[in-house]
Chains A and B, each alone.
Chain A
């Protein structure tokens, strides 16, 4: 079996072959292939710029892999700022001994995810580190997008704004947890990992009055809603029964005593929209597979500024806190 050796990161011929035969071949575009020290980019007006490092165990999971997340995750951060994704950088930190075939599968998956937007990988870096220095493979991607819808901000949510979630929550977190801990499920639970730009593009094109968007990655929707409540100094009230949660995620949460609101997502976003546009926003989202069960889950009020309140279907309320510490299963 062909494996990645330290020499593949050594700057010599082996590295050159790896870059040409794998990265240039699959990520091919004019800017990348110029092989200069830095990519020279054509950008008009305001840009959004973001970076993220991706580490996930296992590398492959139901519904995605580290490569798909590394592309979708950074593109999504751009999309959430109303920016059309254009350019990505991509740095691989590879553990010595990683099968070449594994790396190629991941690169192909990145290529496929890139095809869902017009973004291109225009520069990159490859490091190979001795066995044990990293867990198989870490990827960093940075992204640049051109702002299409300016002024989106977590600070601009107002009273009566409607809160929408783009799909059922927590599948990525539940999926990773189940595969790490060997929890076998009867039905296939699949990560929500997806590039959100097509849906965001449609919302912008239809001139939906979006106040803020954020993808609910680590910390889940509990983290996003709390960040917004604090940033906009407003109360966010959520109707518990309106939050879409699939049976598998509910089941895992029941089993382990965890909250689906705290589970990570990789293709789920929360929107705060002008109340007049809320229904229209949901209808637009329903046209896309990645957001076919989008739902209105609550609204901004002035009840308790800076807090998120969950309303139960039987008339009681409680705070939804920001997640704290590592997710640990209950004892009994």
Chain B
């Protein structure tokens, strides 16, 4: 096997996956009750559905799909803000991936682009520098989204913008944090979660230590796992073993990338540029205190929310009344419990945000088939 392919081939090794499945079936026999496992991150939801992992597990293991999809949790009023910014004269709005497809209250960035607004999905946030340099007469606004994983890239971009004294690159910050969202879900009395698969790439940045309070406070094992099928299967096995041994600890399966302390250089860059917001409204979950970031005071001149405040509304906008994304994001419902799933709400014309992103659980159910 070539080294470069070893990066994913060994983590999709059929015999290893089958062996883990057998081992999980054996260990699960010892469980005193069925286990509800929340995979916090949308990347894991995607892995579970894409590789058909649920089919390899005993019925006593149920997945609850968590809120870790940056596109899914973006409230409509923030998307409307992106649209308002894109509609300003001489403006180029930049963002990542699926964000351009998420419906706001009356439009989406894709629809705006088709009317001639300059809206560009980036492959790397660093491309924003080039676009700003090449368009000195335009306002270039980076609509920054994502959990702890993508935040350092935005931080690096902010620092470079400052160093290069680029006067025309601005930031609309929507970076959110995993632990406050998990606490919000667990503090809901209706929650039914017994254990967590911890996020992969978030944990590379933050380190596994950020989940210690969750494991202690709620008595739930947290196993930080990689995104490959072998990783998720091994993560599940570790969770079952913890349950059988009556432990509730933070454990790292994804040891090839995750440490306790994480990437401290990245953390320092984030700290230098951003600080925690008082409160942020999550789509489906509502207002969660200290759950998102904003630009530090020293970067106010780059902050699109400050510089273009006259164009932005903060009036909360509710989801479509038939959409149950909120319950899905809390793990209280499955995508196919929704009456509009696959009918009025499809990836081509999503009503709710969970149908938009490939990391959204509705989208994953639709793409890979929950009926199989």
Q: Which A residues are within 8 Å of any B CB, using their own CB?
A: 181, 183, 241, 247, 250-251, 254, 256-257, 307, 309, 312-319, 321, 324-325, 328-332
With A316-B53, A318-B49, A319-B367 known as contacts, the answer to whether A328 contacts B4 (CB < 8 A) is no
Q: Report how far A257 CA is from B364 CA in the complex, Å.
A: 13
**Contact pattern, B 147-163, Cβ under 8 Å of A = 1, otherwise 0:** 10110000000000000
Q: Report how far A307 CA is from B123 CA in the complex, Å.
A: 32
With A257-B358, A316-B56 known as contacts, the answer to whether A325 contacts B347 (CB < 8 A) is yes
Q: Report how far A241 CA is from B13 CA in the complex, Å.
A: 11
Q: Which residue of B lies closest to A319 (CB)?
A: B369
Indicate if the CB atoms of B367 and A312 lie closer than 8 Å. no
Which 7 pairs of residues, A with B, have the shortest CB-CB distance? Answer: A316-B52, A319-B369, A313-B14, A314-B17, A332-B149, A318-B368, A316-B55
**Contact pattern, B 24-58, Cβ under 8 Å of A = 1, otherwise 0:** 00000000000000000001000001111101100
Q: Which of A181, A247, A329 has the most CB of B within 10 A?
A: A329
Identify 26 residue pairs between A and B in the complex whose beta-carbon atoms are under 8 Å apart, listed by A's number. Answer: A181-B123, A247-B2, A247-B4, A250-B5, A251-B4, A309-B372, A312-B52, A315-B18, A316-B51, A318-B49, A318-B50, A318-B372, A319-B367, A319-B368, A319-B369, A321-B366, A324-B348, A329-B96, A329-B97, A329-B123, A330-B43, A331-B97, A331-B145, A331-B146, A332-B43, A332-B149
The 8 Å CB contact of A312, one of B7, B8, B51, B70, is: B51
B132 to chain A, nearest CB (A): 17
A57 to chain B, nearest CB (A): 15
B318 to chain A, nearest CB (A): 25
Indicate if the CB atoms of B348 and A325 lie closer than 8 Å. yes
With A251-B4, A318-B368 known as contacts, the answer to whether A331 contacts B123 (CB < 8 A) is no
Indicate if the CB atoms of A256 and B101 lie closer than 8 Å. no
B73 interfacial contact with A, CB 8 Å: no
Contacts of B367 in A (CB 8 A): 319, 321
Q: Which of A181, A241, A307, A330 has the most CB of B within 10 A?
A: A330
Instruction: Give the number of residue pairs across the A-B interface with Cβ within 8 Å.
Output: 86
B71 interfacial contact with A, CB 8 Å: yes
Q: Which residue of B lies closest to A332 (CB)?
A: B149
B66 to chain A, nearest CB (A): 15
Q: Which residue of A lies closest to B348 (CB)?
A: A324
With A314-B229, A319-B372, A324-B347 known as contacts, the answer to whether A331 contacts B98 (CB < 8 A) is yes
B234 interfacial contact with A, CB 8 Å: no
Indicate if the CB atoms of B369 and A332 lie closer than 8 Å. no
Contacts of A316 in B (CB 8 A): 51-53, 55-56
B100 interfacial contact with A, CB 8 Å: yes
Q: Report how far A328 CA is from B49 CA in the complex, Å.
A: 19
A268 to chain B, nearest CB (A): 22
Contacts of B147 in A (CB 8 A): 332
With A328-B98, A329-B97, A332-B146 known as contacts, the answer to whether A315 contacts B368 (CB < 8 A) is no
A253 to chain B, nearest CB (A): 10
Indicate if the CB atoms of B56 and A331 lie closer than 8 Å. no
Indicate if the CB atoms of B52 and A317 lie closer than 8 Å. yes
Contacts of A331 in B (CB 8 A): 70-71, 96-99, 145-146, 150, 357, 359
B51 to chain A, nearest CB (A): 6
Indicate if the CB atoms of A314 and B372 lie closer than 8 Å. no
Q: Which residue of A lies closest to B98 (CB)?
A: A328
Q: Which of A257, A324, A331 has the most CB of B within 10 A?
A: A331
Q: Report how far A254 CA is from B6 CA in the complex, Å.
A: 13
Indicate if the CB atoms of A332 and B52 lie closer than 8 Å. no
Q: Report how far A250 CA is from B4 CA in the complex, Å.
A: 11
Taking CB atoms and an 8 Å cut-off, the chain B residues in 97-145 that contact chain A are: 97-101, 121, 123, 145
